[in-house]
Structure 1
Amino acid sequence: MVKKIRNSLSAKAFLWIAGLLILCSLLIYGMVMTLLPQSYTIVASSRVETEIEQLIDTLSQTDYDDAGDVIEQFCQSNRASVILNDGITMHTFGTVDEQSVERGEAMTTAVDVKFADRNGNYYLSITAPVSAGNELTMAFLELLPLLLLLILLISALGAFLCSRVLVRPVLEISRVSKRMANLDMTWECGVHRTDELGVLANSLNTMAKRLDIVMKELESANEQLRKDMEHITELSRQRRDFFAAASHELKTPITILKGQIESMILGIGKYKDTGKVLPETLREVENMERLVKEILTISKIEMDGLAGKAEPVPLPDTLAKVTETLLPLAQERQITIHSQLVEDVTVSGNASLLEKAIHNILSNAIRHSPDGADVFIHLTPSILTVTNTGASIPEEDLPVLFTPFYRVEKSRNKSTGGSGLGLYLVKTILELHGFRYRVENTETGVVFTVAFRYNSGNVKIKTVRQVFPYCPKN
């Protein structure tokens, strides 16, 4: 019980206020019980003295024979006893409580008096009660139990109301402070006052709103940091996988070269004729050189990015240049290239990197189309699509198509499957420029789509159509 009271502000406030009210009430009651009889005695004495003066004045204007009535009226009004002495006889008027006289609560005085029709001196001996102190004290003592009960009830009620008024806002502030300690800011302190407690409540509300904003910003920053860390981790993993795959890809041609050179030195079998073997060795060196160049290109792009080399790049000119470069390969495969371009579509980026990405896209379309197929290039102000007809990619290969060293052609033949870095290089370049891309199968073939940002002010809605047909050699 004591511990509960010690931990409760409401109980403490109630007990303190109730105790103070009871103490003050008892002190006031005791002071009244002590001082009131004394004050009453002083007031009563003054009143009796004033009445005696009025009696003397009235008798001086009254005949002696009529004085009895005046004196009798005085005695009745003041519960007094008066003795009129004319020097010969004494006349007594009224009676006084003998117990009051014995307790010393009566005032006795003798005064000279004159009458209107006589010149002699007469004397009045007046005895009148002037104090009811004992009666008042006894009355207070008799009323004490009832008054004490009223004091307790009034004090308890007053303490309850005061504690509610004073402690309730404090309890509300305490409640919200506990929620603040748990970093819960989804509350509002409902203390609407204009005093210091109201100022404190408003300050808490303001602080909670600001803390809520800061916490949300921190949560957002932490979430972004978490995503960045996951992205960095993923990039690190991809980089490890990339170099692991690169080392594996380089190991094969190096092993082949080593075997061929050793066989030529030892003159084993067909390797005795170095004139026939060296061209094969040269092709293997060229394959390895191409692979190394692609690895170096990717590493440079990942390290430097655009490196401040962003410039306006006219896509129609780049497409025409790449198409002209790949035209011999298309003619060798008996493939017809259809080009439909919107003039003056300009994007911001690195011209050489975009040219390489477009070169890889068109080269893949030509290499992976059946002989005699058609390749369609379509450029609009915001989209580039390259379609190679008659081809299809297995659905299970589409999600991993841009993985380094991944080849749809599982034989890993360099003449048909390539190094496996072409599309990864395309992905790296397009993402560096912020372009969106996708590869999908359609009814006509495989479609590679690139969506980019362009300068609309430079677009002229004029389409140029070109066809680069297969021309058989004579």
Structure 2
Amino acid sequence: MIKRIKNSLTIKICTLIAVVLAVSSGITYAVIVGFLPTYYSKQLQKDIDSVSQEMIETIHSYETINEASYAIELFEAGSKVSVVILDEQGNRIWPAESTAVTEDVLDNGVVEQGYMGDMILTHENSAEQTTIVQEENAAYEEGVIGQADVVTEDVVQQADGIAEVGDNSAVKRYSVKVGGETYTMIVSGGMQPVNQALEILYQILPYILGIAIVVSILFALGASLYLTFPIVRLSQLAQNMAALDFDSSYQGKRTDEVGVLGESLNELSKNLSRALEELKSANEKLKSDIEMERKIEKKRIAFFSAVSHELKTPITILKGHLSGMLQGVGEYRDRNYYLQRSLETTEKMEDMVKELLTVSRIENNKFITQKTDIAEQLRLQIADMAELIENKKLELQVEIPEHLYADVNPVMMDKVFSNLLLNAIRYTPEEKGNHIRVLLKPGTDTETVYCQIENTGVFIPEEALVHLFEAFYRVEQSRNRQTGGSGLGLYIVKMILDQHGASYRMGNTCDGVCFSFSL
């Protein structure tokens, strides 16, 4: 239980508020009980002073105390106070020791009313009633006189005219003049109402404590739930965020510090989610880049391995020719013949080295494009290949517009056209009816260009089509040796077109092979 209280903010706040409310209720009860008599006594003195001032003005209008006795009785009955009047020697003048109802009052034919306690007397009262009234008045006077005698001794000693007798009354002393005589009027009020109230408070103390405890618990429970419920939700939200779950959010509408904290957590959750997504994206891109770099590295290794292999063959041939000629062995004695063959091998090696330099330049440099008339470029390249075409007795079909402009690198595009035309010429058999078809036209978009170069009389196996753009790949090694290709032509074309963002494809047609691209 103690561990649960320590781990629960709701229980802590509920317990704290309940204790505070219960203690506050007890303190309030103690303050009421402690200060009520004092407050009532002070208020009673103010009330006595207020009503006594009016009584003093009334008494001043009479010639004697006896004449004012009726007014004094009315004052006592209406104000719930007791009045004692003393002369200058301190002797009690009113109420008199004799009965308050005189024989003159009883004998008068006029009906007079005199208030003696709660009894009203008239001349119609019988002797029996008169006796009862006299006895009651005597008892009343005895009580008042006894109280007054006691009070007077205390009152006379007060310089300001105010004194308290025990805890049961409050008195006040006044100087009055009646008929030229000076009298002392002492007015006293009892504390009985407040004493009764205190007694009632003591009697209902258990009920007050029970109600205070129950109400304190209920209010504490409500307040703790109001205060801690959003905090519990925020705590759960923070735990979800710690677990990298950003789907939940604070939905409260409070504008206080708790609401501000909730909105801040929502904003933090969004920022963390966005940062995590960006981190994931960056991580995926990094993985992709690493994978791409690995592929490039593998291709580079494979490329250099192929380069080494391709260079190894002509170097071996050169070495054999030179060794045979130096030693004068057999057919190598015909030096002129083998020197010519060595020169041809060297030229092939030179062409390969140039192609390798081109590949390196394309890989390591972003070339600059400019608006170029590629129709004119293509015509010039065809003109350069005209002798080769004539030697192989091939038919040339050309469909090129007068001018066609595109944003390209002129040097690189010359390389593309040269390699594609040379490739088509080399691999077209010297047979009657074979031809080379060249098409250049605007694409479906005014900013694109479509080019197609087709040669007939030869087909490429379907399984070999996907490998045609790989470095040093040859469909038929023996045949390619006869053509004298380096194996890098289409590979270079692919790299240049990739740099231009062009799309391209190579495939078989009904009577040959066609390469097309658009940019």
2:399 counterpart of 1:336: no
The whole-number CA distance in structure 1 between the counterparts of 2:426 and 2:436 is 11
- Structure with larger Rg: 2
Which deviations, in whole Å up to 9, do the C-alpha atoms of 1:287-336 show, x marking residues without a partner? 22222222222123223342x4x333322222212222223333333321
Q: Gaps spanning 5+ residues in structure 1: where?
A: 453-474
With normalisation by structure 1, the TM-score equals: 0.78
* Structural RMSD (CA): 4.0
* C-alpha contact (below 8 Å) 2:48/2:172 kept by paired residues: no
User: C-alpha separation between the residues in 1 aligned to 2:366 and 2:175?
Assistant: 132
For 1:154-303, list aligned pairs within 5 A. 154-303=215-364
Counterpart Cα distance in 2 of 1:368 and 1:80: 144
Query: Are the equivalent residues in 1 in contact too, given 2:18–2:216 (CA < 8 A)?
Result: yes
Q: Could you tell me whether the CA contact under 8 Å between 1:75 and 1:81 is conserved in 2?
A: no
Partner of residue 207 from structure 2, selected from 146, 150, 165: 146
How many aligned residue pairs are there?
446
Query: How far apart, CA to CA, are the structure 2 residues paired with 1:406 and 1:385?
Result: 22
Distance between the aligned counterparts of 2:278 and 2:483, measured in 1? 53
Amino acid at match of 2:518: A
Q: 1:52 to 1:394 in 2, by over 3 A?
A: same
1:10·1:164 contact (CA, 8 Å) conserved in 2?
yes
Match of 2:406 in 1: 347
The 3 A distance-change label for structure 1 pair 111 and 261 is closer
CA offset digits 1:36-79 (Å, max 9, x no partner): 13323444455567667777877886996995897499469749
Distance 1:55 1:226, change over 3 A: same
CA separation in 1, counterparts of 2:414 and 2:99?
Answer: 155
* Cα deviations by residue, 1:259-290 (Å, 9 ceiling, x for unpaired): 22222223333223333333333332222222
Taking the aligned partners of 1:56 and 1:94, their CA distance within structure 2 comes to 23
| Structure-1 separation of matches of 2:6 and 2:373 | 83
Percent sequence identity is 34
Report deviation, 1:384: 0.5
Counterpart of 1:105? 168
> Which among 365, 373, 390 is matched to residue 314 of structure 1?
373
2:478 is the alignment partner of 1:442: no
C-alpha distance in 2 between matches for 1:76 and 1:312: 121
Q: Does 1:130 align with 2:176?
A: no
Asked whether the 8 Å contact 1:341–1:380 carries over to 2, the reply is yes
Which residue in the other structure is 2:438 paired with?
Answer: 377
Query: In the alignment, does 2:472 pair up with 1:433?
Result: no
Partner of 2:14: 14
User: How much has 1:383 moved relative to structure 2?
Assistant: 0.8
Name the CA distance, whole Å, in 2 between partners of 1:126 and 1:355: 132
Partners of 1:158 and 1:321 lie apart in 2 by 98
User: How far apart are residue 249 of structure 1 and its match?
Assistant: 1.1
Could you say what secondary structure the match of 2:516 adopts?
strand
Structure 1 residue 109, shift from structure 2 partner = 9.1
Distance in 1 (CA, whole Å) between partners of 2:186 and 2:307 is: 141
Mean Cα deviation higher: 282-291 or 185-194: 185-194
Q: How far apart in 2 are the matches of 1:277 and 1:104?
A: 148
Residue 462 of structure 1 corresponds to which residue in structure 2?
A: none
CA contact (8 A) 2:97 2:138 kept: no
TM-score between both structures, scaled by the size of structure 2: 0.72
Q: Aligned to 2:513, what secondary structure does the other structure show?
A: strand
Instruction: After superposing the two structures, state which structure 1 stretch, 166-175 or 376-385, moved more.
Output: 166-175
Letter in 1 for 2:475: V
Partner Cα separation in structure 2 for residue 69 and residue 77 of structure 1: 12
8 Å CA contact retained: 2:408, 2:500: yes
CA displacement at 1:28 relative to structure 2: 0.8
